[in-house]
Amino acid sequence: MNTFGREFRVTTFGESHGRAVGAVIDGVPAGLELTEEDIRRELNRRMFCHIPALNPRCEPEDFEILSGVKEQRTQGTPIAIVIWNRRADSSYYNELWMKPRPGHADLAYYLKYGKFYDHRGGGRASGRATAAIVAAGAVAKKVLALLGIEIAGHIVELGGVEIGAGYTFEDVKRCWDKPLPVVDGAALERMLERVRQAAEEGDSIGGGVEVWAAGVPPGLGEPHFGKIKGDIAAAAFSIPGVVAMEWGAGRALARMRGSEANDPIVVRDGRPALATNKAGGVLGGITVGEPIYFRVWFKPTPSVRKPQQTVDLSRMEPAVIQFRGRYDVTIVPKALVALEAITAITLADHVLRAGLIRRDRPLRPAESR
Ligand SMILES: Cc1cc2nc3c(=O)[nH]c(=O)nc-3n(C[C@H](O)[C@H](O)[C@H](O)COP(=O)(O)O)c2cc1C
């Protein structure tokens, strides 16, 4: 399945070392302002070229909006975005054919698709494929902005270093000015050190991120199988490398008594509101008008320079591989941008499903500004 969403539908395509990756986005109403700059800004956020260990490929994104936009306004027709793979280097991958990289998807793809899958650069399972999600997420973010919904994430753990407590959504947005989006300056220095160490040792590290959606109206999400938590969890786990997730105060809630865990309900600006929001903005799978927040953890990048044990599938004999191609020492920063994007796509779908924005008629002048 390469299509996601019910009303705001995104289909992605492409393999890491094929000609291109891309997305077709259906369900965007006519009249939304959408420029190449909107897409470029999000694609640039996943580059991190200033830290080469995080993006050895560092490909300046060369993309085109093929359809659905006329004079910087959406037409209400499918928007196709293609991102060319100009600098793919497949030379090293010949020696990896039929020798699956431990931790990567090679083995699973071989078992499912036989010899037909493209193993170069991880093929369809590559992190490169998430560039298409980021492009589609840029469109979803524009749709959400019509309702004042904003999405931003940050790194909460990298290589075993965790941030200290205490920050606001404004801090999260501002920390994107730093070398890595980390609110805690001291933790950031130690994280960068772990990245350097892992790169020197030819190894990789994992970590965790937190994504916030602020300005989310109440009433998004449906029982039983259209719950916001369920849909965002499914979306999050579609990003390669995700290993765990925690909603709101998450595991800490599991250690509390109910009296401590429950968010008191208060009146704020004449409306019911949560005094504390440990729930992460969702009760019963439905948003309550408080910010959504959740954490997601990623495993270390599977490709490492150290020798790893595998099997030569053509002979069914043990083999050792030592990866010599390009790899991201950690996938966490880039994957965070993909996670923001897939969150935006999921929420845009729910906004359309709830009828807050209609896909079947142009935006009204007040909406389309
Ligand atoms: C943005 C991003 C970049 C990634 N870069 C690499 C990489 O350079 N090398 C690698 O081996 N895996 C990389 N991965 C991870 C693999 O794609 C992933 O581990 C693999 O598809 C197996 O999927 P799984 O970990 O979900 O089981 C990346 C993932 C993401 C999201």
Domain boundaries, the chain: 3-368
Given a cut of 70, whether residue 204 has pLDDT beyond it is yes
Residue 303 CB–ligand 1 contact under 6 Å: yes
Assigned CATH for 3-368: 3.60.150.10
Residue 338 CB–ligand 1 contact under 6 Å: yes
Residues in contact with 160: Cβ distance below 8 Å, sequence separation at least 6, in sequence order: 194, 205
Residue in 16, 211, 301 to alter for ligand 1 test, most ligand atoms within 8 A of Cβ: 301
Q: Two tokens at 230?
A: 């369920």
- Between helix 228-236 and helix 332-353 the angle, nearest 10°, is 140
**pLDDT number for residue 366:** 66
Distance from the CA of 239 to the center of ligand 1, in angstroms?
A: 9
Distance from the CA of 145 to the center of ligand 1, in angstroms?
A: 30
Residue 126 CB–ligand 1 contact under 6 Å: yes
Arithmetic mean of pLDDT, 145-156: 98
Q: Two tokens at 225?
A: 């199988």
Prior bond of 119 cis (ω within 30°): no
Residue 122 CB–ligand 1 contact under 6 Å: yes
Residue nearest atom 30 of ligand 1, based on CA coordinates: 127
What is the average pLDDT value for the chain, to the nearest integer? 95
Distance from the CA of 349 to the center of ligand 1, in angstroms?
A: 26
Count the Cβ atoms, other than its own, within 10 Å of residue 121.
25
> How far is the C-alpha of 369 from the C-alpha of 367, rounded, in Å?
6
The lowest-confidence range among 52-61, 105-114, 200-209 is 52-61
pLDDT tens-digit map of 50-103: 888 887 767 679 999 999 999 999 999 999 999 999 877 777 778 889 999 999
Three-state SS string over 161-178 comes to EECCCCCCHHHHHHHHHC
